[in-house]
């Protein structure tokens, strides 16, 4: 995650890259533009995506009441003596569109080099903060909290893709901030780079 200065932000400093991931399952349709010989292809469909952030310390996000309104902040969960797993999962339903240059030849797609640019819009369907560890007596403890944490219900952004045959590398960057205005100490945007395959 990055802030508006394109530097690692407050949230980014707390994330452990190894345990964090982005997974998406998409169903789309590709149509040739200007006839079967044209390399120009328009793609549309829908996507279910899941973004999971693994935090590198014992802190968790929570909402608190302040003089300026309800804010989202990092805080220690006092129920845990030791935290073994500390993650936040956001799931979305999205509608992406993309315009491709596909050089597969007459009437074919995904048989050669392809380049694409496009956009996406989606709605949040789930936000769960989960912690696993032990309490003060050493007993196993697991807490899952379903809370929007002042995140925006809707998201939209830009994406670009390069592929060879059925293998694709896709980069995405949200154009809408993750949190409501003034709900977090900085504007935070989600970006991702993923490797995928068309079936």
Q: What is the pLDDT of residue 5?
A: 38
Q: How do residues 70-107 score in pLDDT, each as one tens digit?
A: 999 988 888 888 999 999 999 999 999 999 999 998 88
Check residue 54 and give its pLDDT: 93
Residues 6+ apart with CB under 8 A from 178: 1, 11, 151, 152, 184, 188, 189, 190
* pLDDT average, residue stretch 136-147: 93
Q: Say what the pLDDT of residue 9 is.
A: 66
Using a pLDDT cut of 70, give the percent of the chain over it: 95
Mean pLDDT score, 131-149: 93
Angle at 154 between CA 149 and CA 158, to 5 degrees: 120
**What pLDDT, on the 0 to 100 scale, is given for residue 19?**
84
- In the chain, what are the domain boundaries? 10-197
Neighbouring C-beta atoms of residue 44, cutoff 10 Å: 13
| pTM score of the predicted model | 0.89
Percent of the chain scoring above 90 in pLDDT: 74
Cα separations (Å) of 15 from 82, 86, 142, 167? 18, 10, 20, 28
Rank 10-24, 53-67, 110-124 by mean pLDDT and report only the highest. 110-124
DSSP of 62-120 = EEEEETTEEEEEEEE-TT-SEEEEEEEEEEEEEEEEEEEEE-S-TT--SSSEEEEEEEE
Q: Mean pLDDT, the chain, as a whole number?
A: 91
**SS3 assignment, position 24:** strand
Rounded CA-CA distance 198/28 in Å is: 10
* C-alpha span between 50 and 93 (Å, rounded): 9
DSSP for 47-62, written as a single string: EEEEEEEEBSSSEEEE
């Amino acid at each position: 995650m990055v802030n508006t200065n394109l530097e690692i932000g407050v949230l980014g400093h707390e994330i452990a890259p190894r345990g964090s991931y982005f997974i998406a399952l998409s169903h789309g349709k590709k149509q040739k533009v200007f006839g079967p010989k044209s390399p120009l292809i328009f793609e549309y469909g829908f996507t279910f995506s899941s973004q999971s952030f693994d935090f590198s310390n014992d802190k968790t996000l929570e909402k608190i009441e302040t003089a300026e309104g309800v804010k989202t902040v990092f805080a220690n969960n006092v129920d845990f003596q030791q935290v073994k797993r500390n993650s936040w999962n956001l799931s979305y339903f999205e509608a992406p569109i993309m315009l491709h240059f596909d050089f597969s030849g007459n009437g074919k797609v995904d048989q050669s080099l392809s380049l694409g640019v496009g956009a996406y819009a989606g709605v949040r369907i789930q936000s769960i903060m989960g912690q696993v560890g032990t309490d003060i007596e050493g007993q196993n403890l697991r807490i899952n909290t379903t809370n929007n944490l002042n995140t925006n219900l809707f998201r939209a952004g830009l994406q670009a893709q390069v592929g060879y045959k059925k293998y694709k590398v896709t980069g995405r960057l949200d154009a809408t901030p993750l949190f409501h205005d003034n709900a977090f100490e900085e504007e935070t945007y989600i970006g991702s780079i993923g490797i995928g395959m068309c079936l």
